[in-house]
Structure 1
Amino acid sequence: MGAKTTTDFNTFRRAAGRLVDVRSPGEYQQGHWPGAINIPLFSDEQRAEVGTTYKQQGRHQAVELGLELVGPALASLARALKEAAADDPALRIYCWRGGMRSNSMAWLATQVDLKPQVLEGGYKTYRRWVLEQCSRPWPVKLLGGRTGSGKTDLLLALANRNVAVVDLEGLAHHRGSSFGGLGLPDQPTTEHYENRLVEALEQHRHAGAQEIWMEAESAQVGRCRIPRDLFQQMQAAEVLEIQRSTEERVAQLVAVYGHQGGQQLADATQRISRRLGPQRTQRALEAIASQDWATACRAMLDYYDRCYDHELEQAEERRSIDLTGLDPEQSADQLLRDQLISPLPEPLDGIHL
């Protein structure tokens, strides 16, 4: 297959070139290196067939079957690699273990004048690195506040002012409550959430961040789970609590959820009916049926406020600031002006929350 192209993880990570994941679509969907595109050597069905052959008949027969399956697709795979490379012949290719799939694709890439590198140990090595990063110490600080305080909008405004921010909800495609998934794309798997989260943290570490701001969350953001070691650091982190009037919080919730449609809101309300209690549930459902979004939100705020206040009591270090009357941009300016939050030492280009 030509000259050796296998590269250790640190060199591979620093190298130039488009990231290409050559595993099957199902493997890629389960989790991949963020930014990688998928050019699968085998379909999900073909991968299963080769795996079954390997277990039942041995390696030699599995390799022969693999060659039979890939042969007719060589030309289209080569074109896909060329398109991925665009104007830069460098490619960074990985499979699960850095074995035959990635090395075969690397060989094919060299036949069309590309310059591939293969990740030694494959995606398995990348995942090991991700989990190691989750357990390292991070300068985490939390932005807290009751439901409807506009914490996410404020974090985004801070990010635009060169503050190191990781949007836990944005990465999870979920706002963190029973209603959190309404109007958002499908959630990633927890595995891929971990990958995205660590890449965001690593970007800020590389930029020299002395503090990294996140929203105070529970361990679960929809179906995505925050890594245990990182969540333990969050539990011990300083909390800056944002306070706003009930009227502003209701207005914020109506702006976010009021256009989602009554049936979706009613279904989400039913999911937490046991925790809301029968009277509050009925009041919320009647308000939703009449499209009185503000009344529906007020009916549920008491429950969410009690949950939040209970969690906030666990914070070892807490400060508060009332930002009633200020929009997210004004609020961000206020926090920076009061030196409650510090920006990065240098501007961060191409920030990915």
Structure 2
Amino acid sequence: MSEYISPSEFLRLRDEGLPLIDVRSPSEYAHAHIPGSLNLPLLSDEEREAVGTAHAKSGSEAALHVALELIGPQLAAKLGRARQLCRNCLHGRREINRNGKKEKRVLLHCWRGGMRSRALAWLMETGGFSVFILEGGYKAYRSFVRSELAKPVNALVLSGMTGSGKTEVLHELAALGAQVVDLEGLACHRGSAFGGIGMGVQPCNEHMENTLFEQWRKLDPARPVWLEDEDRRIGTVSLCGELFEHVRTGRVVELHVPLEGRIRRLLRLYTGAEFKSALADCIERIRPRLGDERATLCSRAVQSERFEDAVRDILFFYDRLYARQMDKHGRLRIFRLDMPQDDPHAAAEILYRKELSGEL
């Protein structure tokens, strides 16, 4: 008989190496899923729509009848596919369990822990598996993620003007042993209007949170966690309220890097003939904030590949914006680190020493 378990126990067993099968439709899975899960849809997107239509028109019994008609001819193939997924997942890791027998335990979930989970659980039990179903399904997992993200943490928020190399400093801190969550890395965006250049496709909010939670749940609550100072929106990703509250209320450490060092960094990141079109598009998007005259000068500089002139003008705008925001929000600034040059490793060493000494 299958066993219903809590999200925390479900994730613990996944961490032990048990295969995790998500029986939701392909589109549900593609939108967002539990990291490490494998998709074995009980119903395709089209079949799920047909079942939903039957339910809306004729009720639950009619919907169940339609579902059985669709699933019935596929049962043998579904079981075979489930066995293959489990073998692939366990290969080279835990094909033999602690009792010396072949591992035949599996984790399952659907949206709410309902019919789809129960149906595949019955099928896999018939095939000899012991099945653990996520109580409340993926919906319960999402609630669990949000509740865990809301728990208090000792957040140190690294702030600084555009081009200060904050993300690289965080990476250096992580290499030294600090607890770091790279929000921009998870969002696949560097945060400013230009932050998407060269970064690829961003995840949706939901999947970014799921991926972030994999790091969050492993943090030591007795130690500080470093975050980068961000707006609530990072490109197209919006930080959930539970997470953004840590950024908003965390203790701020300010990093100051000379203007010329910041310009050189931004030239390395964002400029070059291959980025001209993207840069021009970004300038147009913030034209109302830059002002027509400055935006036009920046666009002309980019088109003539005078990238340093464009970066210098854009930084003039961003530096004033940063100063206004810091003054407006009146956040708790506990330390200011003035670096003589752009040196993320040296900055991280100073900050980590201060963390270990209890000065931060």
TM-score normalised to the size of structure 2? Answer: 0.87
- Out of 232, 235, 248, which is 1:235 matched to? 248
Deviations 1:90-114 (A, max 9, x none): 3211101111111222233334444
The answer to whether 1:8 aligns with 2:24 is no
> Contact 2:178 / 2:352 at 8 angstroms: preserved in 1?
no
Question: Which residue of structure 1 lines up, in the alignment, with residue 177 of structure 2?
Answer: 162
**Structure 1: any 5+ residue segments left out of the alignment?**
344-353
Residues 58-137 of structure 1 aligned to structure 2 (within 5 Å):
58-86=59-87, 87=90, 88=95, 89-137=104-152
Question: Which residue of structure 1 lines up, in the alignment, with residue 279 of structure 2?
Answer: 265
The answer to whether 1:179 aligns with 2:194 is yes
TM-score normalised to the size of structure 1? Answer: 0.89
Question: Which residue of structure 1 lines up, in the alignment, with residue 291 of structure 2?
Answer: 277
3-state secondary structure, aligned to 1:143: strand
> Contact 2:164 / 2:342 at 8 angstroms: preserved in 1?
no
> Contact 1:23 / 1:96 at 8 angstroms: preserved in 2?
yes
3-state secondary structure, aligned to 2:176: coil
Q: How many residues align?
A: 338
Question: Which residue of structure 1 lines up, in the alignment, with residue 99 of structure 2?
Answer: none
Note closer, same or farther for the CA distance 1:92–1:335 as it changes in structure 2 (3 Å cut).
Answer: same
Question: Which residue of structure 2 lines up, in the alignment, with residue 310 of structure 1?
Answer: 324
Q: CA deviation at 1:209?
A: 4.4
Residues 21-40 of structure 1 aligned to structure 2 (within 5 Å):
21-40=22-41
Question: Which residue of structure 1 lines up, in the alignment, with residue 258 of structure 2?
Answer: 245
Note closer, same or farther for the CA distance 1:178–1:341 as it changes in structure 2 (3 Å cut).
Answer: farther
Q: CA deviation at 1:75?
A: 4.1
Q: How far, CA to CA, are the matches of 1:249 and 1:80 in structure 2?
A: 53
Note closer, same or farther for the CA distance 1:150–1:342 as it changes in structure 2 (3 Å cut).
Answer: farther
Aligned-residue RMSD, C-alpha: 2.1
AA aligned opposite 1:310? R
Q: How far, CA to CA, are the matches of 1:113 and 1:185 in structure 2?
A: 43
AA aligned opposite 1:12? F
Question: Which residue of structure 1 lines up, in the alignment, with residue 204 of structure 2?
Answer: 189
Q: How far, CA to CA, are the matches of 1:280 and 1:253 in structure 2?
A: 18
Q: CA deviation at 1:272?
A: 0.2
Q: CA deviation at 1:326?
A: 5.0
3-state secondary structure, aligned to 1:241: strand
> Contact 1:163 / 1:342 at 8 angstroms: preserved in 2?
no
Q: How far, CA to CA, are the matches of 2:236 and 2:46 in structure 1?
A: 27
**Structure 2: any 5+ residue segments left out of the alignment?**
96-103
Deviations 1:129-153 (A, max 9, x none): 1221233212111011110111111
> Contact 1:78 / 1:112 at 8 angstroms: preserved in 2?
yes
Q: How far, CA to CA, are the matches of 1:295 and 1:230 in structure 2?
A: 37
3-state secondary structure, aligned to 1:239: strand
Note closer, same or farther for the CA distance 1:324–1:48 as it changes in structure 2 (3 Å cut).
Answer: farther
